Structure 1
Amino acid sequence: MVYFKIKIHILLTFVLIVGFSSGCQSNRAKQNIKDVALQRDEGYNFGDNNYCFGEVLDSLMNIDLLKPSKETHYRKVERSQLTQGKYKVGPEVEEFYDYTTETEAYVLEYKGNSYLIMIGQAVGATGKWGDYRNYRCYLLGSNKESLAEFGSLANTPFTIFINDNGELSYIAIDDNYPRPADGSEVVLNHYPTYVSVYTGDSLVTEFEYKCYGKRSD
């Protein structure tokens, strides 16, 4: 009798687990269907989520490919602080302000070192529905040239970070939207991007990524 009760208990537990798993899969399937049904129009702004920068970073962290160090701190700095002698910077910083628009600067602090991150809208460089940002990174207090120079659709200082090995890393998100040679318009329910991940000058990985937008209305 005890053996019979144990078998019933095991059977019920298995049914509950299968049912719960099926329910989760069903919810995921519904979400996928919803995504597929989402048609791109001007009501969607991919820039609202930085072209899925957060999702891309989460994906890299989930597979333990790259992780930002927890010992870092970002703070925004004004142009006057950089150009009036508070920080030791070269003329290239002022030049960056001159040839970019909507320019912002941040200081990334890590174990006694301070890195200057500069972000500015690139003139004439655009994606399908957004403008590229130019990035530069300098080690403050040194006479070295920029540690990193690149462009990306994402607009966030967290694009440049120190990984858990203490190395400077960055993520660049590029436009990968199809443009037929005949000039015809391609309508997709997502924004195709191409992601490149670097540590120093070395390419760690690169891959295509489908970014889904957010409504702007």
Structure 2
Amino acid sequence: MNQDKIWNYFQTEGANVVFQSETRLNYLFKKALKIVGNTKPTVLNIGVGNGWLEKRCLEQGWKVYALDPSKESIKNLETFGVIGEVGYIEKNSYADNLFDLVFCSEVIEHLSNEQINLGLLEIERILKKGGVLIGTVPYKENLIDNQVVCPKCGEVFHKWGHQQSFDVKSLINIFKNNLTVEEVSIIYLINWRMLNWKGVLSSLFKK
């Protein structure tokens, strides 16, 4: 199943289905606020969703960049002042040592091992010395439970395009060769409007 088609759908037509995500993004935003204090950092969000996080960052006077494969999503963000780039985590045009902080939330579970390795090299390259990566991934997701079958062609695929499942140890092992592990913790986020909860791994890494 084409990953870009799945992702582009959930970025546009299906955004209201998958991006009931204000609780998660607000958690990340507050974490970033504590890190940067009263400074005006240059930040990047990889995998943009509906733009909620970018808008909060702009309100603080931060310089905000966004990287995403969806042309429609980037075009939308650019209308309110975000510096957008259509592209992928494993290859981008940003200068070395550009960002004080990078968000990467609910992204790497969509990637192959090779894409993750290349993506981490890129994040390490574009972060300033002392810069911080903040992100989340689903916690111990059972990938088989979320598989579906295409009624037209019979292909079996993960309904959100996930390829990876993580626990604390596996997430640390992936990042430790590129960045300093500051914090990895299990958190449970409750969406009161949807009356459901989700376990995620919250992570903070430093260059």
Q: TM-score range by the shorter chain?
A: under 0.3
TM-score by length of 2: 0.25
More strand by share: 1
Which is higher, the Rg of structure 1 or of structure 2? Answer: 1
TM-score by length of 1: 0.25
Higher relative contact order (CA closer than 8 Å, sequence separation 6+): 1
